[in-house]
């Protein structure tokens, strides 16, 4: 989620370009909020940046994307300037010359980004979008009959319903091939070979084995094996019965698994899956940011005033920076009877929940109860 802070001329601090980049999207957190929520006030109440030290850049150390890791070790200093790593596997790229790998920043910007990250986490939590399980499903058949898979390749195909904001995890996989030799499982998405996994069949014996493989993204995800003898009943699969995704089988003609002509079917092919599907909240919010923008801003506004009220970082110059009317601040953060920050937040939360209830799949609504179904083909 790209969240920015617009210039309000309350401080001489120059925020980095990443914080200013959201201006064109219209989602600047400090626009249209309580007048006390200024950049100057935020910096005076957030942790004191004077005590933060950043290590010097090293050409022998590999850095990761700071926006993912949120680790101080992915920040560096060179010639008195602070830089933030923008990519993983960032090795021996000079911060002063490699703009694709480094962003010039400063302590004040980093402190604000840390607070914005907390706002983002609260948005996910309040909308029940944190690691939200959509479905957990066994999809399999216990094959009894020898069956030669058709064509050159056979596959199971998984496809998210409606968009790319669900994340799949294959917890276990079974393959009833009539061999004990290792078998390649090719993972293909949009004609790109993403991975090659190794399965170890037990000469037609049905058994699930742990794999813990996670994938997400738009389009069809093929899990492909070379056609061979398997145990199968050719049971019928219902592609539309699963919450959050559809799945079906396929057979392919071609020389390589990522460049086949596929025929789609709904009959078993010896493969079985224990698969979990979760809401990928970050992608979900990004895809629908125009619908959630007001709630995100209201969350930022409420958390800012809560920080002013409680002075959680024990900044000593509170009297100089913020009005001392504790009763007024308390009303702004607690009362739902007037047009307060708390009421605006509560109203926007209700609107955001209604948006989620209308989303692409019923299992992404706000019902806290869910069922884990164990079914076979």
194 and 114 within one domain? no
248 and 143 within one domain? yes
pLDDT category at 128 given cuts 50, 70, 90 is confident
Global pTM reads 0.72
- The total of structural domains in the chain comes to 2
314 and 269 within one domain? no
**Would 374 be classed as within a structural domain?**
no
- The residue from 254, 280, 306 where one domain ends is 280
pLDDT tens digit sequence for 196-213: 999 999 999 999 999 999
264 and 139 within one domain? yes
113 and 244 within one domain? no
304 and 251 within one domain? no
220 and 302 within one domain? no
User: What is residue 375's predicted lDDT score, i.e. its pLDDT?
Assistant: 44
Would you say residue 377 has pLDDT above 50?
no
Which range marks the domain in which residue 178 is found? 133-280
**Would 12 be classed as within a structural domain?**
no
Lowest-confidence region among 93-97, 135-139, 149-153, 313-317: 313-317
pLDDT tens digit sequence for 55-83: 999 999 999 999 989 999 999 999 999 99
Q: If DSSP states are collapsed to H, E and C, what string results for the chain?
A: CCCECCCCCCCCCCCCHHHHHHHHHCCECCCCCCCCCCHHHHHHHCCCHHHCCCCECCCCCEECCHHHHCCHHHEEEECCEEEEECCCCEECCCCCCCCCCEEEECHHHHHHHHHHHHHHHHHHHHCCCCCCEEEEEEECCCCCEEEECCCCEEEEEEEECCCCCEEEEEEEEEECECCCCCEEEEEEECCEEEEEEEECCCCCCCCCEEEEEEEECCCCEEEEEECCEEEECCCECCCCCCCCEEEEEEEEECCCCCCCEEEEECECCCEEEEEEEEECHHHHHHHCHHHHHHHHHHHHHHHHHHHHHHCCCCCCCHHHHCCCCHHHHHHHHHCCCCCCHHHHHHHHHHHHHHHHHCCCCHHHCCCCCCCCEECCC
110 and 36 within one domain? yes
**Would 319 be classed as within a structural domain?**
yes
**Would 9 be classed as within a structural domain?**
no
pLDDT tens digit sequence for 282-327: 777 777 777 888 999 999 999 999 999 988 888 777 666 666 678 8
121 and 137 within one domain? no
268 and 147 within one domain? yes
77 and 195 within one domain? no
């Amino acid at each position: 989620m790209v969240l920015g802070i617009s210039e309000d001329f309350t401080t001489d601090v120059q925020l980095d370009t990443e914080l200013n980049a959201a201006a064109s999207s219209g989602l600047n957190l400090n626009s249209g909020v309580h007048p006390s929520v200024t950049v100057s006030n935020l910096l005076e109440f957030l942790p004191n940046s004077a005590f933060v030290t950043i290590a010097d850049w090293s050409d022998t150390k590999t850095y990761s994307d700071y926006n993912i890791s949120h680790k101080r070790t992915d920040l560096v200093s060179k010639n008195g300037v602070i830089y933030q790593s923008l990519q993983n596997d960032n090795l021996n790229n000079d911060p002063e010359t490699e703009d694709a790998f480094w962003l010039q920043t400063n302590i004040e910007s980093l402190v604000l980004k840390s607070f914005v990250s907390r706002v983002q986490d609260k948005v996910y939590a309040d909308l029940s979008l944190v690691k939200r399980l959509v479905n957990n499903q066994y999809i399999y058949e216990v094959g009894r009959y020898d069956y030669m898979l058709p064509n050159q390749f056979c596959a199971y195909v998984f496809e998210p319903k409606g968009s790319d904001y669900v994340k799949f995890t294959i917890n276990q996989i079974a393959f009833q091939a009539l061999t004990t030799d290792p078998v390649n499982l090719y993972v293909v998405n949009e004609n790109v070979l993403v991975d090659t996994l190794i399965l170890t069949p037990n000469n037609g014996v049905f058994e699930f084995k742990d794999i813990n493989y996670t994938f997400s993204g738009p389009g069809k995800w093929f899990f492909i094996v070379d056609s061979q003898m398997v145990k199968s009943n050719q049971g019928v699969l219902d592609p539309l019965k699963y919450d959050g995704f559809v799945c079906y089988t396929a057979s392919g003609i071609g020389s390589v698994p990522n460049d086949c002509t596929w025929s789609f079917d709904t009959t078993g092919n010896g493969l079985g899956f224990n698969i979990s599907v979760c809401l990928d909240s970050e992608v979900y919010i990004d895809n629908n940011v125009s619908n959630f923008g007001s709630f995100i801003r209201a969350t930022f506004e409420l958390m800012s005033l809560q920080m002013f009220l409680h002075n959680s970082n024990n900044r000593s110059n509170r009297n100089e920076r913020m009005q001392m009317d504790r009763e007024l601040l308390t009303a702004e953060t607690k009362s739902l009877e007037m047009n307060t920050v708390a009421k605006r937040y509560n109203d926007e939360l209700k609107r955001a929940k209604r948006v989620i209830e209308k989303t692409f799949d019923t299992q992404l609504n706000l019902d806290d109860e869910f069922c884990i179904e164990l079914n076979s083909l």
